[in-house]
């Protein structure tokens, strides 16, 4: 039974390897809920989060993603620069389970071209299900942010985000068999954001690319 009383002590023990992979159920996750409201020594806690982000240990990275997932959004916004650096460092280890959650957080923190370049890099490096999560979040971005993505992408995959019409959806008939998977997902996400529903999109890709059908059906809201 876990007897930790502070997040600082818990994180110290995690970093020292006292929680093996099969001990996840012994961890007191309640410590992570709104910890920014419970602890006065925020700088000390942030120090521990930065230490966790440097680790390449699976358990440490997953627990870091759990901590950040449960931090109040207002606190993350107030410390956006620190959290952006922490998440980028942690994501660079490319731990799939953790990155599914990290994508949800870092998408909110994108402010400039460097952030966009990092996001695109991680999309390219990610395995399929993690990549699906990262691409699907693009549908929530403002058109101004999408313009930054479009300018930095090395192809025209983001063109569908701008005034998608029937001409654009017909391109799926060829794109679905001629382009790489990431291009397809980004392009179809743009069409969805522009107003095409799932079944319109699936009609153009069914029978040609079942992975893309899965993406549309499962990951687009």
Q: By C-alpha distance, which of 51, 31, 47, 49 is closest to 39?
A: 31
* pLDDT tens digits along 98-112: 999 999 999 999 999
Question: What integer pLDDT is reported at residue 84 of this predicted model?
Answer: 95
**CA angle in degrees (0–180, nearest 5) for 126-53-78:** 100
Q: pLDDT value at position 34?
A: 58
Q: Note whether 137 and 104 are within 8 A (CB).
A: yes
Per-residue pLDDT of the chain (221 residues; tens, 9 = 90+): 344 457 677 777 778 877 655 555 566 666 666 555 655 567 777 888 899 999 998 888 988 898 888 777 888 888 899 999 999 999 999 999 999 999 999 999 999 999 999 999 999 999 999 999 999 999 999 999 999 999 999 888 999 999 777 778 888 877 766 567 899 999 999 999 999 999 999 998 888 888 999 999 999 98
Structure confidence at residue 1 (pLDDT) = 36
In this structure, what token pair is assigned to residue 115? 């952030």
215 neighbors 188 (Cβ within 8 angstroms): yes
The two three-digit tokens of residue 160, written as one number: 């569908």
The two structure tokens encoding residue 175: 């794109």
Could you tell me the pTM of the whole model? 0.87
* Domains of the chain by residue range: 1-109
Q: What is the pLDDT of residue 138?
A: 98
Q: What is the pLDDT of residue 177?
A: 63
Q: What is the structure's pLDDT at 3?
A: 41
């Amino acid at each position: 039974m876990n007897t930790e009383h502070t997040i600082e002590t818990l994180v110290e023990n995690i970093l020292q390897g006292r929680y093996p992979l099969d001990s996840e159920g012994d961890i007191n996750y309640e410590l992570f809920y709104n910890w920014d409201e419970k602890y006065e020594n925020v700088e000390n806690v942030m120090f521990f989060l930065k230490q966790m982000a440097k680790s390449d240990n699976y358990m440490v990275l997953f627990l870091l993603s759990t901590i950040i997932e449960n931090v109040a959004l207002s606190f993350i916004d107030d410390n956006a620069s620190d959290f952006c650096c922490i998440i980028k460092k942690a994501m660079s280890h490319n731990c799939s389970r953790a990155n599914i959650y990290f994508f949800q957080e870092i998408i909110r923190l994108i402010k400039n071209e460097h952030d966009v370049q990092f996001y695109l890099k991680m999309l390219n490096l990610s395995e399929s299900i993690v990549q699906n999560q990262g691409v699907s979040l693009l549908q929530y971005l403002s058109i101004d942010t999408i313009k930054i993505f479009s300018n930095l992408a090395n192809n025209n995959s983001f063109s569908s985000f701008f005034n998608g019409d029937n001409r654009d959806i017909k391109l799926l008939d060829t794109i679905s068999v001629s382009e790489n998977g990431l291009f397809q997902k980004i392009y179809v996400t743009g069409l969805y954001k522009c107003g095409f529903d799932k079944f319109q999109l699936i009609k153009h890709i069914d029978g040609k690319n079942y992975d893309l059908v899965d993406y549309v059906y499962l990951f687009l809201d």
